[in-house]
């Protein structure tokens, strides 16, 4: 409340913070034994910070609140009562002639007090610490009483990779049902990402007060690395990051030891949608035994109709993770929006950017910053250059692990769902260093030609395939017409990996041979 009332008009600026360790000592008159203490005086906060120690060593003592810790020591010295003790800082015992009975009795060994210094806003710049590399920014945000307003406000930081360091709330007295939030974030208000976030918050919030940016206190703290500038503000490279001249030998992207761009084609298989725990586990075991290298499955599904099955969400992600545990297959799954990136990245080994989201630039940046390898599908209406431009976004954010996926483009031909552009596959190998795989299932829309398209894709230079497989395609909740059954997938796997007997070593570790539906 004091911060808001004193600094809400912008005339004062926060310039420094000091984090001071706070250790509590219980002290009494010389000669007074701990067992004889009947009353303990201290500030109520200090008493609360020592509650565990007091309950163990002085369970019957009366706890008396005082205005000050040092003042409590002074009272004990004045009253000359050997049954009276005070909790204060260790130097207070020396000042008032008391004897420590026990030191560092606080419940939390990291206990500390935060001190802040302020100056007039027009003098704040001159007080910035020269050469400081780690800054914090403190602000007050007032948001309306509407669903999701706080989340929407904080997403401005999360979307830009700005670390949230503290969050406290108070009801706003001047406006009922409005809340005031005290926020600390890592970085200076002049940093591009922080300043962009503040601009966005200013448009969303009822009121934004930036208390100040200052050097973060780093002694004993655990600050993350300094926030890099946003990708769209870095200098344009003389040679595009996707260009093959940057790595003539070609990039190899590894996912849990699996190599995209290595000597062997990668075979990814699984259902369009994760429909149930039993279904995804049955499919995972079947494709692993047939020779798949990786498991696919949609937990979040972008559907043309809002009335179609949209996926199981987080529950589906958990089922995928369980299937990975039981089969050893890494998992790749689609993420639909940048807000979902953290939770999907928590479960998945690789993030898929679907065709509809190929030019969702916020999602591309967020997926890149997750640190997980990214499978980037080509949009049905995207040109070759637009596809590579989307990959450039991911690379520019610092993530080199990008795998391209050709999944068919829209042409005048309607006999199939799309037209598989094998020209693009060969061209990717010629012009970029990134590995490229093919999705024949979505290109065809018809399961009968998925295997021929798969073999043609490998002949054109694709380093892998991602195909849809379902235990009972006729009953699939999505894309059943293009999904292979287990027998058809086993036939494809034998042709892609001649002589391979499947992932017996992976499935064998759990003893799984088959799962009933």
The position carrying tokens 């911060």 is: 3
Classify 349 as helix, strand or coil. Answer: coil
228: phi then psi, degrees, rounded to nearest 5: -75, 160
Is residue 115 among the annotated active site residues? yes
Distance (Å, rounded) from C-alpha 30 to C-alpha 35?
14
Catalytic pick among 11, 115, 190, 501 = 115
On whether the CB atoms of residues 274 and 320 are closer than 8 A, the answer is yes
Q: Is 118 a catalytic residue?
A: no
Mode of pairing for the β-strands spanning 266-270 and 436-438: unpaired
Vertex 142: Cα angle to 138 and 144 (nearest 5): 150
Q: What's the rounded Cα separation, in Å, for the pair 155 and 161?
A: 10
Rounded Cα distance, 341 and 372, in Å = 10
Residue 265: CB atoms within 10 A of its CB come to 18
- Tell the burial category of 487 from Cβ atoms under 10 Å away from its Cβ (0-12, 13-18, 19+): exposed
Residue 181, token pair as written in the block: 């939030």
CA–CA separation, 462 vs 421, rounded Å? Answer: 12
Distance between CA atoms of residues 293 and 266, nearest Å = 6
* Nearest residue to 102 via CA among 86, 117, 81: 86
Q: Which of 113, 129, 411, 501 is catalytic?
A: 113
Residues 386/242, Cβ–Cβ less than 8 Å: no
Residues involved in catalysis = 113, 115
């Amino acid at each position: 409340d004091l911060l808001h009332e004193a600094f809400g008009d912008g005339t004062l600026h926060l310039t420094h913070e000091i984090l001071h360790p706070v250790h509590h000592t219980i002290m009494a008159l010389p000669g007074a034994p701990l067992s004889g203490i009947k009353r303990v005086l201290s500030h109520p906060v200090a008493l609360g910070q020592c509650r565990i120690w007091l309950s163990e060593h002085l369970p019957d003592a009366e706890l008396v609140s005082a205005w000050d810790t040092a003042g409590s020591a002074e009272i004990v010295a004045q009253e000359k009562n050997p049954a009276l003790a005070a909790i204060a800082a260790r130097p207070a015992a020396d000042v008032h002639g008391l004897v420590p009975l026990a030191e560092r009795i606080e419940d939390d060994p990291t206990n500390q007090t935060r001190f802040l210094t302020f100056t007039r806003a027009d003098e704040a710049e001159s007080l910035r610490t020269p050469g400081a590399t780690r800054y914090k920014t403190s602000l007050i945000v007032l948001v309306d009483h509407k669903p999701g307003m706080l989340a929407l406000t904080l997403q401005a930081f999360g979307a830009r990779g700005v670390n949230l360091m503290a969050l406290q709330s108070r009801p706003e007295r001047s406006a009922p049902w409005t809340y005031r939030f005290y926020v600390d974030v890592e970085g200076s208000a002049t940093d591009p990402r922080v300043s962009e976030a503040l601009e966005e918050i200013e448009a969303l919030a009822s009121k934004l007060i930036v208390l100040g940016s200052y050097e973060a206190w780093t002694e004993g703290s655990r600050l993350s690395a300094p926030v890099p500038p946003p990708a769209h503000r870095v200098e344009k490279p003389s040679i595009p990051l996707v260009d093959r001249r940057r790595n003539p030998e070609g990039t190899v992207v590894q996912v849990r030891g699996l190599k995209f761009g290595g000597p062997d084609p990668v075979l990814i298989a699984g259902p369009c949608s994760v429909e149930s725990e039993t279904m995804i586990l049955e499919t995972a075991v079947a494709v692993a035994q047939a020779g798949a290298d990786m498991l696919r499955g949609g937990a979040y599904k972008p559907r043309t109709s809002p009335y179609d099955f949209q996926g199981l969400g987080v529950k589906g992600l958990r089922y995928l993770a369980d299937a990975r545990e039981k089969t050893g297959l890494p998992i790749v799954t689609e993420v639909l929006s940048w807000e979902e990136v953290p939770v999907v990245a928590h479960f998945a080994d690789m993030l898929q950017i679907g065709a509809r989201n190929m030019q969702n630039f916020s999602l591309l940046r967020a997926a890149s910053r997750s640190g997980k390898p990214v499978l980037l599908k080509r949009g049905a209406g995207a040109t070759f250059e637009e596809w590579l431009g989307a990959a450039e976004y991911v690379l520019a954010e610092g993530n080199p692990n990008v795998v391209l996926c050709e999944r068919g483009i829209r042409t005048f031909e309607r006999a199939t769902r799309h037209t598989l552009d094998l020209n693009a596959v060969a061209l990717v190998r010629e012009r970029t260093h990134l590995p490229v795989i093919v999705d024949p299932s979505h290109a065809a829309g018809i399961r009968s030609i998925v295997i021929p398209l798969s073999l043609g894709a490998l002949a054109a230079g694709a380093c892998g395939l991602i195909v849809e497989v379902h235990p009972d395609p006729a009953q699939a909740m999505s894309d059943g017409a293009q999904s292979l059954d287990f027998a058809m997938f086993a036939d494809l796997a034998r042709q892609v990996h001649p002589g391979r007997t499947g992932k017996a070593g992976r499935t064998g570790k759990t003893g799984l041979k088959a799962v009933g539906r």
